[in-house]
Amino acid sequence: MNLDIGEGAKDVPIGFGLSLAMNEQAMERYSQMTETERKSWLLQAGQVKSKAEMMQLVNRMGETFR
């Protein structure tokens, strides 16, 4: 699996980045997003209150890639 999530990777919260690393489809989707799309997902990630919620968010992202 390629862990390159593109430009702005240093701005990704650790929990979000780790969750992306565990979901190949979500990682692929994130790497292909525009800056605006990434910011939207990062805002959502900032609202997450638990590891389970973060995984749900990332799983949703991966599902939109199919």
* pLDDT tens digits, 7-56: 555 678 889 999 999 999 999 999 999 999 999 999 999 999 999 999 99
pLDDT at 12 (0 to 100): 84
**Cα 57 to Cα 11: distance, rounded to the nearest angstrom:** 17
> pLDDT exceeding 90 applies to what percent of the chain?
73
Residues 6+ apart with CB under 8 A from 38: 8, 30
> pLDDT exceeding 70 applies to what percent of the chain?
82
